[in-house]
Structure 1
Amino acid sequence: MSRRTDLDLSDDQRFALMKLRRSVADLKLEEKYDDCFLLRWLEAAEMIINLLQMYEANYPEILKACYAINAPKVFSFAFNILKNILTGNTMSKFIIYKADPSKWMPALANSIDSDQYPAYFGGSLKDPDGNPRYTTKINQGGKVPKELYLKNDKKLTNSDDMTLVNIKKGDKLYLKYTVTVPQSFLRWQFKTEGHDIKFGILATDSENIQTIIMPIKKVACHEFEEIGVIKCKHTGECSHLCDECHSSCITTEARQPD
């Protein structure tokens, strides 16, 4: 397995990649499985974790179980490196199965009615032509068309409802909103040019006690717009915090419940 020195990675990504290299050392991967290969599995694990965090933050107790089937060992190692940010309750709902249908098929059958998932995975749903993958209802994924590739040199297009903000490295941007009605919604949408940033939400009550509503973490908003919403249960002041970024476009709003 070869290492790459030309990759533009954040410090967190480099650290995670280093840990993954050490974890898979005993697998004796072929030379063609380089750092780019490992990064793809780190990104896959990160995507799953982001989905689990979404359920955890916005739909508590709705997620019953999440199964990863036919998962290679590399994915398991990558997930173990990143999983510490999940709570124990959410982690207990995520189960990884290797490429062994004799183990994951009974697990799915015990949790899901057979008429709710494709025959290819052990259920009973099929396409009209008998295809067990049930492609008429379930997107099978595949390669992303080249015309949809994100260009690294693509400049941001500022929309009329966005504000352009320049933040020097090491500086912080606070956007403060006063919440006068409990259960109000705080929405945000932003993107950056060329760099990720750290983003989080803080709340300050009438006694000036500050609590963290959304932990501060890095978001790859230079690749995709960061869009979200959160409910402010109590009155007080809510603050968006953006840290260590370069030119960004930001739009946020606070909305009272209907």
Structure 2
Amino acid sequence: LSLSGRLQLTLYQYKTCPFCSKVRAFLDFHALPYQVVEVNPVRRAEIKFSSYRKVPILMAQEGESLQQLNDSSVIISALKTYLVSGQPLEEIITYYPPMKATNDQGKEVTEFCNKYWLMLDEKEAQQMYGGKEARTEEMKWRQWADDWLVHLISPNVYRTPAEALASFDYIVREGKFGAVEGAVAKYMGAAAMYLISKRLKSRHHLRDDVREDLYEAANKWVAAVGKHRPFMGGQKPNLADL
């Protein structure tokens, strides 16, 4: 069996969540077969087995070993390390330990050490990146996507009450909601996210027209890739591209 064939993967997700979409993009690009469990965003009964209450969660069966991987960037780094190095996944996930921290709002959150770093030896790293600059660049832009780009989504898709309602109409159609839950989520969720998006706009010091921040971020990415390579990874996408 190939390395990818040894893994049985189950992804617990919200279909419209950008962090879940990022994991699906990675799995699809690497042709890793996986099952999807759509999580009900209200009850979250599908992940009641987990003390970690956010999605995505990836359950990975490797032989007799069943591992739970949390956090989209950890999932991607751990699986890429596995595909390149062939180390047991059970061992790899110990390189990304969770740590409790307090965020800017005074709320306790779980962070993961090393989450943008692939655990490769020198030969493997050289084979994959060709040099330290490419490795550092990939890490920088993966972190930028998590720390900046993703925060531009909510203020842009919930920009006005009408846009918020249209967004939640899509979320309810694509997600796993009951009929009553869906109706409540559509209107209550749209109203809540419209207000939250205004708070996010203020917290991240976005402009009055948040589209400008989104366009600027896209232009910044395009400029970083440059005109002389199709992807940041060169001739094929790297983890920053995905």
Please classify the TM superposition score into its range, dividing by the shorter chain length.
under 0.3
Q: Whose Rg is larger?
A: 1
TM-score between the two structures when normalised by the length of structure 1: 0.24
The structure with the greater share of residues assigned to strand is: 1
TM-score between the two structures when normalised by the length of structure 2: 0.25
